[in-house]
């Protein structure tokens, strides 16, 4: 339990803030994502406070969880946002985010998305290729605007994470090859409708060591020196996101340790520091609540079939990711068995946890832990399953921040041939 300070057992019941989690299931049904407002606030403030006295901006990576309630909460705390699509831009604006605190990353920005971001007046485009730079210059020119840009540079540093979420190796699709960055900055300066504003990188996600961040930061500072020597005015250094969280045995640095390490490498340079944390802000602030539908003993394995599935939380199926699974009301450990916790979807890869030691009965509630990041935001309607509800725990109150989808909503917009 030590990895989930916001969720704890009291008298055998799992609580967050002043809410016993079975109350959520009773009021809103399952599967249901539940987030703790206090946990989110604490996580944001830990990053922000660690930067005290230094010009900085924490840009929450919206992809981790784009619920409007969460975005609004972060906007009210003063957060900026890292977006990767026009859809995320619309969400941030609707949630009351400040356009002047938005950075726009992603390798495939479309002209319409660039246009929307220019209209909104975002802080910076993190440009990932020469072709994109020219496309942005053209779109901005047509609008009579000048687009602020950083080049996202690929520093070729091994983030030592799952290969699917490593982004800073030279073989990855992300960023501009390190050795080409200076030349591209020089050509950016010559374009009429872009303005060089910053320098950007992001090497991957779920990093549990400081070393790759430090190595990257040092490489970026070397590049920054060379760019300044060429006369470029770099206003900010965006060091990306990627700080990992504890799912099971990991022991990642805290937000404070991470920020302090970055601060000490950057020293007293005049540039504003931007970071783009996603998972570390929301991951351990959320759980996925699910009900045991059936227990199915077989001669080989015991299955607990639950009402959440890979469409609700695809991380186990996609990355073989481990999420702790805890009973919402503890039973006698003496009755525990080894279960395969699986969903109703027609795929053998549809599991939430393998070989879990649990004491279970039909109808029991389970909490899939550390599900606040890349849970709901990666969910789908596979098997025509409506998306789960989402609630925000706030002291002793439970706010519904997204209703459970209906099957009618799923079918809206589809047409039968005349
Ligand atoms: C450009 C960019 N910034 C920030 C993030 C956020 O990463 P994390 O959720 O690991 O902090 C990502 C995802 O890896 C990303 O691609
Ligand atoms: N979806 C990944 C993280 C991807 C990070 C985005 N660049 C996960 O669930 O761990």
Atom of ligand 2 nearest to the CA of 61: 6
* Nearest protein Cα to ligand 1, atom 4: 241
| Domain with residues 105-277, CATH architecture | Alpha-Beta Barrel (3.20)
Instruction: For residue 245, give the ligand nearest its CA.
Output: 1
Q: Is 374 flagged in the annotation as binding?
A: yes
- Select from 205, 246, 247 the residue to mutate for testing ligand 2; criterion: most ligand atoms less than 8 Å from CB: 205
Instruction: Please report, in tens digits, the pLDDT of each residue of the chain (418 residues total).
Output: 446 778 999 999 999 999 999 999 999 999 999 999 999 999 999 999 999 999 999 999 999 999 999 999 999 999 999 999 999 999 999 999 999 999 999 999 999 999 999 999 999 999 999 999 999 999 999 999 999 999 999 999 988 888 887 787 888 888 999 999 999 999 999 999 999 999 999 999 999 999 999 999 999 999 999 999 999 999 999 999 999 999 998 999 999 999 999 999 999 999 999 999 999 999 999 999 999 999 999 999 999 999 999 999 999 999 999 999 999 999 999 999 999 999 999 999 999 999 999 999 999 999 999 999 999 999 999 999 999 999 999 999 999 999 999 999 999 999 999 9
Q: Is 276 flagged in the annotation as binding?
A: yes
What is the CA(375)–ligand 2 centre distance, in A?
Answer: 10
Count CA atoms within 13 Å of residue 70 on its CB side.
32
Locate CATH 2.40.37.10 in the chain. 7-35+283-411
Atom of ligand 2 nearest to the CA of 63: 6
Q: Is the CB of 105 under 6 A from ligand 1?
A: yes
The SS3 of residue 148 is strand
What is the CA(147)–ligand 1 centre distance, in A?
Answer: 22
Pick the CATH number of 7-35+283-411 from 2.40.37.10, 3.40.710.10, 3.40.640.10, 2.60.120.590: 2.40.37.10
Q: Which residues lie below 8 Å from residue 207, measured CB to CB, with a gap of 6+?
A: 159, 160, 161, 213, 242, 243, 244, 252
What is the CA(414)–ligand 2 centre distance, in A?
Answer: 30
Asked if this assembly's ipTM is beyond 0.90, the reply is yes
Atom of ligand 2 nearest to the CA of 318: 9
Q: Is the CB of 202 under 6 A from ligand 2?
A: no
* Nearest protein Cα to ligand 2, atom 4: 165
What is the CA(136)–ligand 2 centre distance, in A?
Answer: 26
What is the CA(227)–ligand 2 centre distance, in A?
Answer: 31
Q: Which residues lie below 8 Å from residue 167, measured CB to CB, with a gap of 6+?
A: 154, 159, 174, 175, 202, 203, 204, 205
Q: Is 35 flagged in the annotation as binding?
A: no
Cα–Cα distance, 350 to 41 (Å, whole number): 33
Atom of ligand 1 nearest to the CA of 105: 1
Q: Is the CB of 208 under 6 A from ligand 1?
A: no
Q: Is 301 flagged in the annotation as binding?
A: no
**Element at 93 (helix H, strand E):** helix 86-94
- Residues 204, 166 contacting (CB under 8 angstroms): yes
- Residues 341, 291 contacting (CB under 8 angstroms): no
Q: Is the CB of 61 under 6 A from ligand 1?
A: yes
Instruction: For residue 202, give the ligand nearest its CA.
Output: 1
Q: Is the CB of 165 under 6 A from ligand 2?
A: yes
Q: How many residues does the chain have?
A: 418
pLDDT of residue 44: 98
Q: Is 319 flagged in the annotation as binding?
A: yes
Locate CATH 3.20.20.10 in the chain. 105-277
pLDDT of residue 171: 83
């Amino acid at each position: 339990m030590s990895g989930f300070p916001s969720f704890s057992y009291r008298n055998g019941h799992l609580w967050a803030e002043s809410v016993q989690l079975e109350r959520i299931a009773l009021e809103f049904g399952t599967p249901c994502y539940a987030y703790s407002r206090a946990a989110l606030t604490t996580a944001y403030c830990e990053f922000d406070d660690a930067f005290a006295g230094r010009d900085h901006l924490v840009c929450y990576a919206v992809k981790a969880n784009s619920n409007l309630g969460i975005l609004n909460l972060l906007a009210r705390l003063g957060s900026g946002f890292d977006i990767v699509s026009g859809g995320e831009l619309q969400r941030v604006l609707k949630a009351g985010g400040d356009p002047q605190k938005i950075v726009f990353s992603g390798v495939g920005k479309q002209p319409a998305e660039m246009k929307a971001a220019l209209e909104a007046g975002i802080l910076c485009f993190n440009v990932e290729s020469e072709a994109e730079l020219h496309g942005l210059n053209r779109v901005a020119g047509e609008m009579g605007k000048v687009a602020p840009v950083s080049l996202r540079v690929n520093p070729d540093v091994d983030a030592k994470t799952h290969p699917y979420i490593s982004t800073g190796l030279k073989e990855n699709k992300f960023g501009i090859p390190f050795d080409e960055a200076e030349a591209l900055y020089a050509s950016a300066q010559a374009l009429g409708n872009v303005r060089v504003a910053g320098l950007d990188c992001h090497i991957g996600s779920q990093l549990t060591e400081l070393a790759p961040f430090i190595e990257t930061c040092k490489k970026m500072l070397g590049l920054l020196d060379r760019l300044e020597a060429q006369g470029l005015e770099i206003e900010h250094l965006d060091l990306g996101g990627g700080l990992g969280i504890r799912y099971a045995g990991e022991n990642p640095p805290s937000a404070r340790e991470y920020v302090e390490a970055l601060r000490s490498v950057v020293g007293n340079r005049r540039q504003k520091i931007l970071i783009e944390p996603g998972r570390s802000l929301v991951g351990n602030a959320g759980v996925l609540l699910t009900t045991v539908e059936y227990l199915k003993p077989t001669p080989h394995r015991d299955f607990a079939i639950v009402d959440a599935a890979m469409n609700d939380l695809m991380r186990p199926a996609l990355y073989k990711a481990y999420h702790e699974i805890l009973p919402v009301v503890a039973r006698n450990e003496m009755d525990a068995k080894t279960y395969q916790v699986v969903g109703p979807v027609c795929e053998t890869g549809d599991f939430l946890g393998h070989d879990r030691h649990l004491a279970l009965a039909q109808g029991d509630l389970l909490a899939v832990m550390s599900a606040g990041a890349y849970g709901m935001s990666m969910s789908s309607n596979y098997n025509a399953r409506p998306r789960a509800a989402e609630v925000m725990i706030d002291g002793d109150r439970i706010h519904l921040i997204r209703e459970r989808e209906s099957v009618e909503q799923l079918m809206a917009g589809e047409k039968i041939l005349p």
